[in-house]
Amino acid sequence: MLAMPILKTVVKATRKRTVTALRVEMERLGVSQADVARALGLTLGTVSNWVNGHRNPTLGNLQRVVDILRKRDPEISIDRLLKRAA
């Protein structure tokens, strides 16, 4: 049963790296948390929780954020975020 705690640790670390990569890309492209919240119809607190690693966006919401970022950098994708997070 040692495998489950190790798996949970790996998943948690991957999520943390993904939200860090998301934050870095938002900063690089000059997209604020407020911009994302407004575009997605969410509260600033929700987006702040994602960017600060307190909560994780769903894959669908992550794609929606990437779609926003893509307006400033057509090369951005979830794959790119995940590669940067690796």
Three-state DSSP state, 42? coil
Domains and CATH numbers, the chain: 15-85 (1.10.260.40)
Three-state DSSP state, 16? helix
pTM comes to: 0.79
Position with higher pLDDT, 71 vs 13: 71
Q: For residue 51, which phi and psi values (nearest 5 degrees)?
A: -65, -30
| Alpha carbon distance 19, 51 (integer Å) | 6
List, for residues 21-54, the tens digit of each pLDDT value.
889 999 999 999 999 999 999 999 999 999 988 8
| Alpha carbon distance 47, 38 (integer Å) | 10
- CA 65 to chain centroid, in Å, comes to 8
